[in-house]
Amino acid sequence: MKQWNRAIVLVAVVLSTACATGGNTSPPPRPDAATQAVDAYLIGVDDQLQVTVWHNPDLSVSVPVRPDGKVTVPLVGDIPAGGRTTDQVATEIQQKLGQYIRDPQVAVILTALRSHEYLSRVRVTGAVRSPISIPYRQGMTVLDAVLAAGGTTEFAAADRTELYRRNESGSTQSYAVRLEKILQQGDLANNYPVQPGDVITVPQRTF
């Protein structure tokens, strides 16, 4: 069911300055960018959710997340959504609906990301021509973000670039990016897909 839920989410989702907790040279997980965004993004107030109950259209509903972080679902009532992933919300709804219908299958789709400006943007800082905060878009990579910032300056230590990402536990993890190889050699091995909320920092060379 979870795979079914995620597949539906990926069709509909339009898509959640940090300090390093250590230079992690292993790449971020690399399923496609949309899967990463859905897995990482935590629902916020005012986000719009589509709750779909398979074969039960009367129980399906499109609802905004209220200021108290909850949504109201037919038969189930109020469900906490704020600070949770779509899979977590779908699982709770499914469990509670099981009291009323047999083997319910539930998908929760994020149809409008309206909360927390920070979570919907990617930032590029350091030795780039125009440090920038840009809206996340599906399929965006490190190279896309750096080019939007005008590329690196002549003082950049591009191969010491770091991508900082906040994980579900709230801590921040860093990933080494060999940006010089990407820009000068076309080596895309480190051209990672980015997620909403990522920060890419290009350090300056030391003289």
Structure confidence by residue, pLDDT tens digits, 157-176: 999 999 999 877 778 889 99
pLDDT at 16: 37
Structure confidence by residue, pLDDT tens digits, 111-138: 887 766 556 789 999 999 999 988 888 8
Residue 175 CB contacts under 8 Å (≥ 6 apart), including other chains: 24, 25, 26, 27, 28, 162, 163, 165, 192
Which tokens is 57 given? 């259209």
pLDDT at 67: 74
pLDDT at 37: 45
CATH top class, domain 42-112: alpha beta
Q: How far is CA 158 from CA 6, 164, 188, 201, in A?
A: 36, 15, 14, 9
Domain 9-39+117-202 fold is Outer membrane lipoprotein wza fold like (3.10.560)
Rounded to two decimals, the pTM is 0.48
Domain map of the chain by residue range? 9-39+117-202, 42-112
Residue 20 in this model has a pLDDT that exceeds 80: no
